[in-house]
Amino acid sequence: MTASADQPFAGLSPDAVLDAVQAFGIETDGRLFALNSYENRVYQVGTTSHGTVVVKFYRPRRWSDAQIREEHDFALELEAAELAVAAPLRFDGETLLFQSEYRLAVFPRRTGRGAEIDQPGALGLIGRTLGRIHARGALSAFTVRPRLTLQRLGVDARNAVLDSGFLDAGMEERYANVSSELLQAIRNAFEDVGGTREIRIHGDCHLGNILWDDKGPVFVDLDDCMTGPRVQDLWMFLSGSLDERRAQWAELSAGYMAFTSFDFRELELIEPLRALRMLHHAAWLAARWDDPAFPRAFPWFGSPRYWEEHVADLAAQCDAVAVRGESLL
């Protein structure tokens, strides 16, 4: 089967994966294991020349070559600063590789277990590592990576859902009204907070993108790295009751501020950022639905019940955005 715009990885058979890796002088031993990844395709490959490696095939047309290279440069900069991140290997000086119609990168396998933030000291270690990452991120700026904006993650996402064909007439009107109200609340929140300094950030910083080894957290998958506020890399580690989130923030921020500063006004962006993630996630699933990996991984998406719950969640988030995050202090 050949690749298409809707199914860009259709031709990526096991033999094609191994052939692509071997084209760059990597001797494989035949071991191949598909890792959980939907936006891209990621495989663990056994080799006799480079140990076990992780190979990422980038989704066509999502990022430009320059944007991928800037992601790689950021990861390599962090690695050079002795930060625990997954950074790509170079082949003839290049990290972005081309084989047939695919773009790929090869990473050394990073081992570790899932992060357990309820363990004593875990959030402090995450905060310390993120503080060091952000200290580096603040030293220079991305030139081609995207910014975290209301337009990209909110307005464009809303329009994509409305144009997707997933909503019947009644639900389309409800979604349009609720999402419009939510976008205005987000806009008001960002205006109230005023300008905050934006830096290079991970962008998709949650427990699924952290491994835990003997030394602490290892941050992987910088595929969504962007320019944005520091709190975007922090808020997804907070959950539970208000008292629980206060305790989590105290530990996380203490570790973080051992290495860099934090503008506490950004706490008021937590609920607006959560709202943007909710809007964007639905649009992402709708846009990728023709890729067979998505119906298999998200079988509940697109049902009448899903949209009922999603619209109800967006309505509730309007109230949360109004309260925002100052109560964490």
Q: Known catalytic residues?
A: 204, 221
CA–CA separation, 61 vs 309, rounded Å? 31
Angle at 105 between CA 146 and CA 63, to 5 degrees: 25
19-to-81, 101, 128, 166, 212 alpha-carbon distances in Å:
33, 13, 40, 38, 32
CA–CA separation, 97 vs 99, rounded Å? 7
- Terminal CA-CA length for the chain: 56
**DSSP states of 210-258 as a string?**
EEEETTEEEE---TT-EEE-GGGGTGGG--SSHHHHHHHHHHHHHHHTT
CA–CA separation, 18 vs 74, rounded Å? 27
